[in-house]
């Protein structure tokens, strides 16, 4: 049988992984923003955009992913506090 202590430990590990995921997504978001800036600058005198269509879509979806991670972290923390 699994003890409450083991469950709390697993939940804390989940929280740490969610925090790591949040940091990674923020780093990816920053890197993509930098890449977009470079591509826009490089393409200023180019007849066609150098920015791939998928980049803009990816940039828009970062906020949703960050919200999902934060919401998940909140739920796991509340569950751990209730135990």
pLDDT at 31 over 90: yes
pLDDT of residue 53: 85
Summarised one tens digit per residue, pLDDT across range 44-56 is 888 988 888 888 8
pLDDT of residue 49: 87
- Residues with Cβ within 8 Å of 47's Cβ and at least 6 positions away in sequence, in order, are none
- DSSP letter string, 47-65: SS--S-HHHHHHHHHHHHH
DSSP state letter for 46:
S
Out of 1.10.287, 1.10.4100, 1.10.8, 1.20.120, the CATH code matching 4-82 is: 1.10.287
Residue 20 and residue 6: Cα distance in Å, rounded? 21
| pTM for this predicted structure | 0.84
Q: Could you tell me the residue ranges of all domains in the chain?
A: 4-82
More reliable by pLDDT, 73 or 51: 73
């Amino acid at each position: 049988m699994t003890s409450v202590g083991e469950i709390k430990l697993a939940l804390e590990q989940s929280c740490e992984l969610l925090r790591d995921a949040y940091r990674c997504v923020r780093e990816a978001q920053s890197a993509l923003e930098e890449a977009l800036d470079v591509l826009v600058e490089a393409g200023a005198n180019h007849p066609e955009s150098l920015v791939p269509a998928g980049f803009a879509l990816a940039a828009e979806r970062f906020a949703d992913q960050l919200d999902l991670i934060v919401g998940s972290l909140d739920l796991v923390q509340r569950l751990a506090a209730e135990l």
